[in-house]
Amino acid sequence: MEYNYSNYEVENAVKDYLWLFKYPSINNKRLLLTCYEVEKELKEKFPPIGDNKYGCFSSYYHTEYNLFSFPCQQLQKLYTILSFSINKIIDPEEQYYVRCWVNLFAQEKNIGWHSHWESEFKTYHGFYCVHTEGKHDSYTDYKLPNKEDVLRITSKDGLCVFGKSDGDKHRSSPWLNENHRVTIAFDIIPVGVLRRYHEFTHKFLHNYIPLYKT
């Protein structure tokens, strides 16, 4: 059956800065299984770690793989519908690349306040909620430029949060439910940035892939 990649809803949560998408057609149960399979593969490949600022194993090694490169129909759907939806926001004249990884936070685990890229790079970042609901709500807090109040976005499975990397910081809430809080995170980077800065091309070339242009 042909998949309708225009099947999504969008809300501009913060004008020209932060957007919320709902992707109702992604099968999150199947996607969740793939996320656990990827974590297992990563643990077989990379050495163990202790407590760290990233909050989990798969996030700690996020520069060593690209989740979208793993064979999974639901990942392919997510990659394509993400491309379709954000291409209406990002610069249509620019070619972007995407780096993607999975966060699996156990009970009481989370990632604290952090930022992704500096404003000069004109990049974007976001995450998709795979398994984020339970008896206790989970959420992501944002500190946005020129905004005094913290913006709290409650996590709902099927929700994709997308925004500029332009001086904001954000954190996830500690996971208070059973199993894991599972999200798929990504950075969207102009190809020119990757070409200009040797650090990115030399060290991380293998884990960027082109964002599909519509």
Q: Is residue 55 part of a domain?
A: yes
Q: Is residue 88 part of a domain?
A: yes
Please report, in angstroms and rounded to a whole number, the separation of the first and last CA atoms in the chain.
21
Q: In angstroms, rounded to a whole number, what is the distance separating the alpha carbons of residues 112 and 99?
A: 20
CA distances to 59, 110, 124, 129 from 107, rounded to whole Å, are 16, 9, 29, 17
Q: In angstroms, rounded to a whole number, what is the distance separating the alpha carbons of residues 142 and 35?
A: 25
Q: Is residue 43 part of a domain?
A: yes
Q: In angstroms, rounded to a whole number, what is the distance separating the alpha carbons of residues 81 and 98?
A: 14
Q: Is residue 109 part of a domain?
A: yes
User: 107 near 178, Cβ under 8 Å?
Assistant: yes
Please, which residues bridge with residue 19 across strands? 12, 162
Q: Which domain holds residue 181?
A: 9-210
**How do residues 170-194 score in pLDDT, each as one tens digit?**
999 999 999 999 999 999 999 988 8
Please, which residues bridge with residue 156 across strands? none
Q: Which residues contact 29 (CB under 8 A, 6 or more apart)?
A: none
Closest CA to 63 of 213, 199, 196: 199
Q: Is residue 30 part of a domain?
A: yes
**How do residues 96-121 score in pLDDT, each as one tens digit?**
999 999 999 999 999 999 998 888 89
Q: pTM to 2 decimals?
A: 0.93
Q: Is residue 4 part of a domain?
A: no
Q: Is residue 20 part of a domain?
A: yes
**Domain holding 58: CATH number?**
2.60.120.620
- Domain count of the fold of the chain: 1
**How do residues 62-103 score in pLDDT, each as one tens digit?**
999 999 999 999 999 999 999 999 998 999 999 999 999 999
Closest CA to 173 of 82, 90, 108: 108
**How do residues 132-174 score in pLDDT, each as one tens digit?**
999 999 999 999 998 889 999 999 999 999 999 999 999 999 9
CA distances to 5, 96, 152, 168 from 149, rounded to whole Å, are 35, 31, 9, 12
Q: Is residue 2 part of a domain?
A: no
